[in-house]
Every structure is written in C-alpha cells, then in structure tokens.
Chain A
C-alpha cells in the first residue's frame, strides 16, 4: 500500500486465527497493534507471535487512544465489542458474519448509524480482483441480463476445527451456511446489486459432525477437542429474487464431492464462470491448480460459433486490500464503497431466510 499512509493505532478484539492475520498485515503496514481477548490460551499464543500491547478488557482498550477497532471474536460476542467501540467513537471492522443472529446484526447496524461511525464487515472475497472483474462484467451489461447464478462453496473434509465454536449454534449462530455460505450469499447479492429475496427453498444436513471416522484432511482453525457439534455441515438452497432472477447455492464444510468455490453467472448475452477455489497446501490429490475464469459467448461471423475467452486479471490479496480499504476509510472518515454494515445485514437476512426455509421443510 501507500508508503505515505499514516501510521495508526488499531485495537484488535479477538485473537484467534483471523485476529492473527489482521495483526500480521497491520504490522507489515507499520501500524501499532493493541490487542484484547478473554481467552488466556488465545492471548498467550498471540503474545508469542506479535508485538502488540495487551489489554485486560474492552473498556481499557477502547480508552487507550486507538484510531479504530477490528473485531474477530466468536460471532456471538461481535455485538458487545462493536457497541462498546461505537460508544467510544471508534470505526469498526467486524469479521464476517456481522453477528450470530439477525437481531444482533440489526442492533449493530442501528448503533453504528446512531453514533455515526464507520462499520465494515469482512466479506473479503469482494476485494478479489477476479470477483471485482466479474461484477464489472455484470454491471457493464456485457452479459446481457443476468438471470441465474449457480454458486458452490464446497469443501470435502473442511469442518473448521471440528468442535471449536464454529460448530456451535449458540455461539456461531449456525454452521456451514453462516460460516462459508455467507461469503456465497454476499457475492451473489452483489452480482445482482442487492435485490430483495422473494422466495427460498432450502435443505440443511448434518452428515459428518458426529462421525468418529471423520478424516481431518482440510483442517481449518484451531485444533481443539471435539466438544460441540449441533450445526449443519452442508446446505442446498434455491433462491428467487425480484424480477424472477434466481440463484442455486451449494455450500458444504464436508461433502463427498469435488472441492470448489465457484460462481457461474448466466446472462442473456454471455456467461462468466468464476472459480476462486483456494489451492490446498496440505492435501492436493488432483494437483489441479488451474482455476477457470472464462467468458462464454456465441458469435455468428461466417458460421455460428462459440467464443470462450479466458479472463486473466492480476492476482491480489483480498484480505489485505480489505484491511487497507478499512484503514483508508478510518483516515478519511468516508464509508467504504464495499462490505458496508448495511450490505452485511442484507446477507444476514438472506442467511436467516435460508435457515427458516430449511426448518420449515424439516417440520
């Protein structure tokens, strides 16, 4: 980023996996990290890795003269930390999802508005060049009218730290859908420019959580003892938005299917296939690292023919760009153009509707 950017004092609340990544980038960018967590184990790990000033509680941290706060606690505790930060007059970046429940998410947005602080939510894929380009193709009308998006975020064996808080309904607010599925909802809503959801049919499954033969191939998060597991590990949903536009969502932490994170955006004139599957470092049985990003068209010069064009934007680190965007917003006082709390609330509403639809289906 910009070398002339001012050095800031940033408060980190929640020192797990995401907190660590934020700290790393903040240090790289020359900012000072002030950190708090209530979990002694998380604190100790963090202290060993980063040069941060540690605090005992939120009040102490928020009174320490920091410029902004980044909240990456377990979902259930986002609200307490965010509300206190707003009261202290701080702009806030909250890890996605905005909260563990729709009510809690609404309260966060309400207080951010009332206190007039910037509130951004970490749906970082929106900063990925590939996603930005796909969105630009939709917006420019090059695809004609987009009528359907087929979206899949599927891991084969990627239940996050099976038994950590991610797998507890009370603390996370749900399972695969609110975790990785919320990324999918965010991108789909963005491609469609934030439409109203009119109808949804959905099914949630829990096929892997309690299995003692579960094979840890794609470990994400802390390796913790398997205590809690009362959430879904996969979801299938069909959404109908205003004007009859539709989306099919497949989300899984674990499934016996090809691992992928991709979006097929179908327009009346052209389509885009956008593959943003993260290459696996630990396990890569296929060796397939090529990720498709293509424009599908039909032309009629001489003979009718297909045109499949490869789109090749430069790679970027979206997590880092998201952070830089937040810091720039704090500096200028202007809300960012993406990943606002209002958008994150719209995502939360759709996630909530999908859970509702799945519950209805199961009665």
Chain B
C-alpha cells in the first residue's frame, strides 16, 4: 500500500496513513512486538505503542503476551468489501464448479493498484493445503492472472506499469525483461489465456483468463493452479485452458445478463 503514501496534497491525514502502514507491517509479519515494529517503520516506540493499543482497543488488532496480530475487525471490513464486488457474486459458483471439475485450486483474482488480489478461491479434491488464501496479493508480472490483466491494458497503460514496477524475480522462471513480457502478453491476447510456468512459485503451474463484461470493461481473472506433477504439458496448455474458457464465457454472459438471472 505504500504506493499511495505520497503526493496527495495537504488534505491527507498523516495519522490515518500511519495506522494503515502499521496494519500492513503487522500483516507482513503475522505477529510482532512493539520494539520490532518501531525499528522496522522507523517510528518512536511510544508512538507505535499508542497506535497498536488504539487499534487493538477497536478490534483491528489482537494483543497476546505483548505481541500483536491482525484482529477480526479487519475480517469484517474485508468480507464486507468483497460483498460489494459484483464479479464476486457472479463468479463464485463458477469458481466452485471449476475447482470441482479440475480437482485443483481455482481462484477469482481482481486487479487493484497494480497488484492482483485473490477475491475468492475454492480447492478441488486434489488440494491438501491451498498455497494461497482469499485476500492474498500477488505481483502481476509473475502470475497467470496478472499477465491476463496486463494483456488487456492499452499500450500506454502498460508502458506506465512497466515504468513504475520493477519486474522482480520470484523464481528462476520469472520474466524480468520488459520486452520478453510484452511478447508474452501478445501471446496471451491471441490465446485468451495466460500461463504461469513456475514463475511465481517453484513447482506450481497456473493458467488464467481475464473476465470482461460485454462493454469491454475488465472485471477480473479466473485461474486454476496445480503442482507441476499434476499439471503435465497437455493439461497445462490445452485441457485446463479449454475448461477455463468455458467458465469465463459463462461468467461474462451471466454478468451481462445478471439483472435477468437474479430472479431465477
């Protein structure tokens, strides 16, 4: 979230920004003490303490033995935020069915501020321990859903994205060269499907397709991921893409006609 911290002019309330920086920092660390956090954020320990105590008081942090975790008050906010997303309602049953049909991890990902956010996910029978969770964020350049989004961007917005974001390597397969990424995105546009071949996490392959409404507005992406041993080439390049295209087509139609299907 640090992207938005500067340049908003004089009406920005610094303490609100600090509170959210603290929440983000707690999220990154699972559980954290006052001293550690003060050092990490370069803030006075007493200041950090006041913030933590206030947030804990309001239910947004949970305090335990002098350490802090995120509180369920944030879950209420997050879950409510998700409920407000139209695509969540239309896509959810289809993501469930996709997980069922493939036996793998199916996700609905939306793009916000240059990152992908998992809005919903469902695990098929083959999945023991889902590698991601709802609310998880991911870089766009290394994930299938992210590349599906980037492929939909007009040239000038892609230029801006590439200028603003370093293509950090996550695995040896991550595309870190902007020209190579552009070439890949052109393939994604041709096929309507994006691939992540162990580019975000070693040992995991993922296929995604963007969901747009009929006026062309990008709503999100749906993906299916699996460990490499369950995702051999023909499944990765052909079978899963075709299952995915069916589901994405249905979600797009149901989105367009949601007003006429709600009554059913």
A115 beta carbon closer than 8 Å to chain B: no
User: With contacts defined as CB atoms under 8 Å apart, how many contacts are there between chain A and chain B in the complex?
Assistant: 60
B192 beta carbon closer than 8 Å to chain A: yes
Q: Are A168 and B259 in contact (CB under 8 A)?
A: no
B256 beta carbon closer than 8 Å to chain A: yes
Q: Are B246 and A38 in contact (CB under 8 A)?
A: no
B16 beta carbon closer than 8 Å to chain A: no
* Min distance, Cβ A84 to any Cβ of chain B, angstroms: 8
Q: In the complex where A39-B256, A210-B242, A228-B250 touch, is A77 in contact with B261 (Cβ < 8 A)? A: yes
Interface centre among B246, B259, B264 (most CB of A within 10 A): B246
Interface centre among B249, B250, B264 (most CB of A within 10 A): B249
Q: Are A40 and B215 in contact (CB under 8 A)?
A: yes
For A81, the closest partner residue in chain B by CB is B260
Q: Are B246 and A229 in contact (CB under 8 A)?
A: yes
A263 beta carbon closer than 8 Å to chain B: no
Bound-state Cα–Cα, A310 to B147, Å: 63
B253 beta carbon closer than 8 Å to chain A: yes
Q: In the complex where A168-B253, A170-B250 touch, is A38 in contact with B242 (Cβ < 8 A)? A: no
Bound-state Cα–Cα, A225 to B250, Å: 13
Q: Are A73 and B256 in contact (CB under 8 A)?
A: no
One of B215, B245, B256, B264 near A80 (C-beta < 8 A): B264
B20 beta carbon closer than 8 Å to chain A: no
One of A77, A80, A227 near B248 (C-beta < 8 A): A227
B183 beta carbon closer than 8 Å to chain A: no
B1 beta carbon closer than 8 Å to chain A: no
Interface of B is mostly: helix
B257 beta carbon closer than 8 Å to chain A: yes
* Min distance, Cβ B102 to any Cβ of chain A, angstroms: 14
Q: Are B253 and A73 in contact (CB under 8 A)?
A: no
Bound-state Cα–Cα, A104 to B264, Å: 9
Q: Are A227 and B260 in contact (CB under 8 A)?
A: no
Query: Which chain A residues in 117-163 approach chain B with CB under 8 Å?
Result: 163
Q: Are A73 and B250 in contact (CB under 8 A)?
A: no
Bound-state Cα–Cα, A222 to B257, Å: 18
Q: Are A73 and B260 in contact (CB under 8 A)?
A: yes
Bound-state Cα–Cα, A40 to B245, Å: 21
Q: How many chain B residues have a CB neighbour from A under 8 Å?
A: 18
Q: Are B246 and A39 in contact (CB under 8 A)?
A: no
B45 beta carbon closer than 8 Å to chain A: no
For A224, the closest partner residue in chain B by CB is B249
* Min distance, Cβ B208 to any Cβ of chain A, angstroms: 14
For A40, the closest partner residue in chain B by CB is B215
Instruction: Name the interface size band of chain A.
Output: 20 to 34
Chain B residues positioned under 8 Å from A228 (CB to CB):
245-246, 249-250
Chain A residues positioned under 8 Å from B192 (CB to CB):
225, 227
Bound-state Cα–Cα, A104 to B261, Å: 12
Q: In the complex where A165-B253, A171-B250, A210-B242 touch, is A80 in contact with B260 (Cβ < 8 A)? A: yes
One of A42, A57, A74, A79 near B264 (C-beta < 8 A): A79
Task: Mark A56-85 against chain B: 1 for CB-CB distance below 8 A, else 0.
Answer: 011000000000000001101101110110
B214 beta carbon closer than 8 Å to chain A: yes
* Min distance, Cβ B257 to any Cβ of chain A, angstroms: 5
For B243, the closest partner residue in chain A by CB is A230
Query: Which chain B residues in 199-217 approach chain A with CB under 8 Å?
Result: 214-215
A205 beta carbon closer than 8 Å to chain B: no
Q: In the complex where A40-B215, A170-B250, A228-B250 touch, is A80 in contact with B242 (Cβ < 8 A)? A: no
* Min distance, Cβ A110 to any Cβ of chain B, angstroms: 15
Chain A residues positioned under 8 Å from B263 (CB to CB):
80, 83-84
* Min distance, Cβ B141 to any Cβ of chain A, angstroms: 25
One of B215, B249, B264 near A168 (C-beta < 8 A): B249
Q: Are B250 and A38 in contact (CB under 8 A)?
A: no
Bound-state Cα–Cα, A230 to B214, Å: 21
Q: Are B253 and A58 in contact (CB under 8 A)?
A: no
Chain B residues positioned under 8 Å from A226 (CB to CB):
245
One of B242, B252, B259 near A229 (C-beta < 8 A): B242
7 inter-chain pairs at a CB distance below 8 angstroms, sorted by A residue, are: A40-B215, A58-B260, A74-B253, A74-B257, A104-B264, A165-B253, A170-B250
Q: Give 7 new A-B contacts, CB below 8 A, not counting A39-B256, A225-B192.
A: A38-B260, A39-B257, A80-B264, A81-B260, A168-B249, A210-B242, A228-B250
Q: B residues near A, CB below 8 A? A: 192, 214-215, 242, 245-246, 248-250, 252-253, 256-257, 259-261, 263-264
Give the 9 A-B CB pairs with smallest separation, nearest first: A228-B249, A227-B249, A77-B260, A80-B260, A40-B215, A80-B263, A39-B214, A228-B246, A227-B245
